[in-house]
Structure 1
C-alpha cells in the first residue's frame, strides 16, 4: 500500500500524522509526507540546498512524530532522523529520503513543495500511484486548508484513489460502510479492516436498495464481506437503506461515526454525492470520512 499524507504545517496536522502513522504501521505501507507551503514562502533567489528553515523545522517535527508512533522492534521504518538527508529536487521542491533503508524496511519520504496545494497533492498521488490520500480537517463542522474549504473539497472530488479526511481528535465508535455495487478492491477492504482495528470500533455494512430491492450482485458481495471480516475476527452488522433515504442516513451517521463510501463509476453513491454534495458531506461531518475508490 502507498499512503500520501498532505500537510500544511498547521498544529492540527499533528493529529493527522499520528492517525496516518497508525494506519501505516498496521499495513506496512510506503509513506510520503507531503508538506506544502505557499509560493511566497520559497526564497526568491533559491539556488538549491535545504528548504526554508521555519517550514523545514515544522515538517521535520511531523516526521519525528510519525517515527515516534511507529517506534517498536517490528517497525518497517528506519528509526533515526540521522538516516535522512535533504536533497534539492527543483526550484520550490525538496525531498528528504532515507539514504539506504535496511532490507525489509519500507520507504518513508518527506517532500516539501511550494505552490497550489490541490494541484500538487493530486499530481503527487498520480505519480506515486498512491492508494490513499490522508488530509486533515479541524474539529467539528468544516474541513479547511489554511482557512479555505476549497483544497479538501477539490481533493475529495478529483482524486482517483481513496481519500481519508481526518477530523481532529474525533474517536468514532463505529465504521459505517455504504455499498451499492460489487466493485470493491482488496486495498479498500484492508483499509476498512485496519481502521476498525485502530479505533476498536464496530463495523456496519449498509446495502443500498432500489425499487426492486437489493441488487443480486450487492447481496452476494455483502455476504463475501461478512465472511472476509469474520475471518479477521471482526463482527459486522448489516442494514439495508432505501436509495431515497440514503443521503439523510449518511449525513446523520457522519455526526458520530466514521463513514466510508465505496464510490465507483457505476455507483448510485457517485450519482447522489456529486461534487458539491460530496464536498458538503466532508465539511459538515463531525467525524472522519473515508472515500473508497
Structure 2
C-alpha cells in the first residue's frame, strides 16, 4: 500500500513538473512573440516615417518644379521687352542720355536671372523694362523734334567752329549728347550767357566758349536741367514740394539738378533738395 502511494506521488510530481515546464515554455514563447511584435511595430513605424519623409520630399520637389515652370512661363515676355529696349537704345545712340535707363534695365535683368520661384518678380521686371523703353523712345522723339525746331542758319557765327566744339563737348560731358546746340545772342536779350528752349535745344552766347572747363560744364548742366524740366513741366508746376522746397523757381531747381550731376554752381543745395531734384532727371516729380 505504501508502495502504491509512493508511486502515485512520484507520478503526480512528474506531472506537475511537466506542467510547470510547459507553462514556462508557453510563457517564453509568448514573450518571444511579444518581442517580435514590438520589433515589427518599430519596423512598421520606421517604414512609415521613411514613407512620410519621401512623400514630403516629393511634394517639395513638385512645388519647386511648379514654381520654376511658372517663372519660365513669363520669361519670354521679359526677353521680348529687353529686345525692344535694345532697339530703343540703338535709336538713341548719340541723341539722348540713356545711362539711367540702362542701369535700371540691368537691375531688372539681374532680378529676373536670380529669380527661381516667384513669377510676379519677372512680371514686375517686364513692366519696368517696358516703361524704360517707352521713356527712351519718347526722349528720342523729343530730340528729333528739337532738331527740326532749331533756329535757322549756322550753329555758330562769332564763336567759330573751335568755340562751338568746346561748348558742344561740355554739353556732351554733362549728359546732353544729342541735344541741339546753337550760338545765339538772343538769350534774355543777350544778358543771359545761355538758355534752354522748350522745344529741346540750347542756345549759348559766343563769349562763354572761353570760360573755364568747370564753369562751362556747370552752365551746360544747368541748361540741360531746364530741358528735363520742360519734359515734366505740368507735373512740376503742380507739385507742392517744388513750391515749398524751391520756391517754384526753375533756376534754383536747375542749379540743384546740376549739383546732382556733379557740377555745382555758386548756389548751394541741401541734401533733401538734391534728393528731390535728382528725380526730375529721370522724369519723377514728387
The two structures have a TM-score, normalised by structure 1, of: 0.24
Question: Relative contact order (alpha carbons < 8 A, sep ≥ 6): 1 or 2 greater?
Answer: 1
Please identify the structure whose Cα radius of gyration is greater: 2
Instruction: Name the structure with the higher helix share.
Output: 2
Structure with greater proportional strand content? 1
